[in-house]
Amino acid sequence: MKKLMISVLVGTAMLLTVGCNAEEKEVHDISINVGSTEEAAAEEEKSVDAAKLASDLVENIKYTDQISEVDLDTAKMFLNFADVDIEEAYIYESSGATAEEVVVLKCKDSDSASKAKTAFEQRVEEQTENFTDYVPEEVPKLKDAVIITSKEYAILSVSADSGKAKDIIEGAFK
């Protein structure tokens, strides 16, 4: 009887864990509506040009501060990428006078992209705390920060035009 009860409890715990993990992945992925199975298969194979996406975000959004490219090693000092397996990274930071930044990552897999998303959320939270007293005018940009993951990609955009950032990012995945 004891063994049966333990088996039932372990089985229930496993089902709950699997269910929670599946739900988490759905929440973080961009949904792309496609009409047919063939189109869906083609969409699965589509690769996003991470360098072009980063360039589009930098060039097509107006920033109040000049943003400059930062190498991955430098970015690791202020972004917690310890557990993130990154294949490509395009990172742009402001001078520090504003909270503006762009980070486009192509990770090894969706698990690493999810970990990058968590690092982005922590970054936005920390920046919000820092800018609240330092430059409170920047806080609305942080509250509207765009953080999107899709497949192995993780993107962060902090600007005064989050709507345009979303459009550019979603356009890259179509």
State the pTM of this model. Answer: 0.74
Residue 118 pLDDT level (bands cut at 50, 70, 90):
very high
Whole-angstrom distance, CA of residue 30 vs CA of residue 170:
8
Residue 66: what residue type?
Q
Whole-angstrom distance, CA of residue 170 vs CA of residue 148:
9
Question: Is 102's pLDDT higher than 70?
Answer: yes
pLDDT score, position 174:
85
- State in Å, rounded, how far the first CA of the chain is from the last one: 55
Other Cβ atoms less than 10 A from the Cβ of 73: the count is: 8
What distance separates the 2 farthest-apart alpha carbons in the chain? Answer: 69
